[in-house]
Structure 1
């Protein structure tokens, strides 16, 4: 934990030092520096895209490094989006011909709202996820006779609920643009980076009819640990850094790493002869963003990914959780019709 605290303060403390040197107020909105960013928000952007969303869990033993991973049956959805000025909307559909692997990975019922909002000064994430139906994604690690051509271990009884809200302030928002890499209504034309900081809140609960540990895997775990019905409430402050790399003013690579630190309240129900417990401790999480692509005056295309990873490794057995989405896209900008310009 001391190492995690050191990394956190390494990211967080320079933010305030850098902000004080600027001629503007610490949180004052600064105009775009056109040596670094071109604004295309007055054009109408239209795109088609494919998106893959995931919400994974794993029972992990810190001492033996053994793990049992579970994934939902991940659907690749295809859709289209439009954007103009401050407004943007994406609509995606699940095509049965693209996702026809229920016999192998089982069925997953889901409500999945993963919204990543990028304003001039903030990157805001809102997640509300309810999943039912998972499969064991690494049976080869504990079943010596597993054949990957056969169906994976299917767990239709596993249910998860995940609610997360976070906001990151972009300190150099006049030179560093998330919009250029993730919403494409701007274009980064010169390398730039920014420190980031802001609050986060996360609620998580997992339940199932039986233990997450298959019989074959149990020798490598503490079988008295059972995460069914356990609730996690985690909140705190996150700090990190993002950077956009640019080649020939059109090819870009955007990378971000943010570490969050704060109290986690863990509520464990009475199970396996043990009493219900509530404990609180300091813990961390990692949030990442990645995007690569091509962005010109009229055309843009690329790949973008956002992920959040959490789970306290101070316990011998712990529940590792992650939420992510991966999007590939291609789009075009047009002059808006007259009724939009009025």
Structure 2
């Protein structure tokens, strides 16, 4: 069985399982305890190994192209308070984030995320940019190429920009989605729920050529019936897992040309994604920390012979601290609340 066929099989099985578990969970109301810490300021730091790499395959010509940025680690600094949260992501130079720059070139990464909590609704907004990619499978194009000695094929000016939004709804009121994703709640008893999410984003993928234009623009929209479950291991420790298949549409616009003569091609594709994750975490009134292992694969067929994939497998560690907000900040959000 080929890898592509196996992924498709798992995707369809996961979709059926998530929908079944979701409908089964609707209407359940186990008496569990969820502690809300929205009145606390929560500062958190994340470090992950996530890399946005792309695979382009042509089955007729039996060729493939695997490109990725030269980043080993990404760091996010987050602040959450009341109904709003913000995160800033960057490449931590002091951790040796870019390695072998003489062989793979330099890459940069910036990311800004905002989130709003409205009851069981979560609204997210983000902007991200990555500059600088190299060809992981350079040896497929230069047979005499030697790894560790010869430089990889590099696209130093290639950049990708993403303007994204998401809207999520938690079907089970006794399940804390925010406990495992944002850590501004503490779930103290085991429970699970389907999380219905709508993702929509606009992307620009540009070679950054000085003497011409070679650019792809995408608008993606996809729906995901994810299922999350949190198992409280003992007192402050919990183990969470999620399975998230999704189906969507990609509206593509490709622009290429030189000397003011631009060729434009428009296409529409059906996209599929499968994501899964495990989270081992610790939560108390003040301290939070944990470890995540995540996998995601999304793909679409450009035509009968060509296929584009974006696969990710990465780990994430986080540490956070909750503390009381200063009185002027609390009054800003609750101007009519009297002091005790």
2-side partners of 1:77 and 1:314: how far apart? 31
2-side partners of 1:285 and 1:79: how far apart? 24
Could you say which residue in structure 2 is the equivalent of 1:96?
93
What secondary structure does 1:311 align onto?
strand
1-side partners of 2:75 and 2:248: how far apart? 37
Could you say which residue in structure 2 is the equivalent of 1:264?
250
Verify the 8 A CA contact 2:90 2:111 in the aligned structure 1: no
Aligned counterparts, 1:35-184, within 5 A: 35-51=32-48, 54-61=51-58, 67-74=64-71, 76-78=73-75, 80-91=77-88, 94-99=91-96, 101=99, 102-115=101-114, 120-139=119-138, 145-148=145-148, 151-172=151-172, 174-184=173-183
Query: 1:185-220 CA distances to partner (integer Å, 9 max, x unpaired)?
Result: 22222221111223222333433379xxxxxxxxxx
* Number of aligned residues: 314
Could you say which residue in structure 1 is the equivalent of 2:232?
246
Structure 1 residues 242 and 63: CA distance shift in structure 2, 3 A: farther
Q: 2:310 aligns with which of 316, 321, 329?
A: 321
What secondary structure does 1:312 align onto?
strand
What secondary structure does 1:294 align onto?
strand
What secondary structure does 2:112 align onto?
strand
Verify the 8 A CA contact 2:53 2:310 in the aligned structure 1: yes
The alignment's TM-score, normalised by the length of structure 2, stands at 0.72
Aligned-residue Cα RMSD (Å) equals 4.1
CA shift at 1:262, angstroms?
A: 3.2
Query: 1:272-292 CA distances to partner (integer Å, 9 max, x unpaired)?
Result: xxx854333433233445432
Structure 1 residues 65 and 13: CA distance shift in structure 2, 3 A: farther
Could you say which residue in structure 1 is the equivalent of 2:336?
none
Q: 1:279 aligns with which of 267, 270, 287?
A: 267
2-side partners of 1:79 and 1:8: how far apart? 31
Comparing 252-261 with 60-69, greater Cα deviation is found at 60-69
Verify the 8 A CA contact 2:218 2:251 in the aligned structure 1: yes
CA shift at 1:243, angstroms?
A: 1.4
What secondary structure does 1:241 align onto?
strand
Verify the 8 A CA contact 1:181 1:252 in the aligned structure 2: no
Structure 1 residues 233 and 244: CA distance shift in structure 2, 3 A: same
| Greater RCO, 1 or 2 (C-alpha within 8 Å, sep 6+) | 1
1:310 and 2:298 matched: yes
Verify the 8 A CA contact 2:42 2:80 in the aligned structure 1: yes
Verify the 8 A CA contact 1:56 1:69 in the aligned structure 2: yes
CA shift at 1:53, angstroms?
A: 5.3
Verify the 8 A CA contact 1:182 1:304 in the aligned structure 2: no
What secondary structure does 1:55 align onto?
coil
Could you say which residue in structure 1 is the equivalent of 2:221?
235
1:204 and 2:193 matched: no
**If each structure's strand is expressed as a fraction of its own residues, which one has the higher value?**
2
Structure 1 residues 323 and 121: CA distance shift in structure 2, 3 A: farther
Unaligned 5+ residue runs, structure 1? 24-32, 211-227
Q: 2:282 aligns with which of 294, 307, 310?
A: 294
Structure 1 residues 127 and 90: CA distance shift in structure 2, 3 A: closer
The alignment's TM-score, normalised by the length of structure 1, stands at 0.72
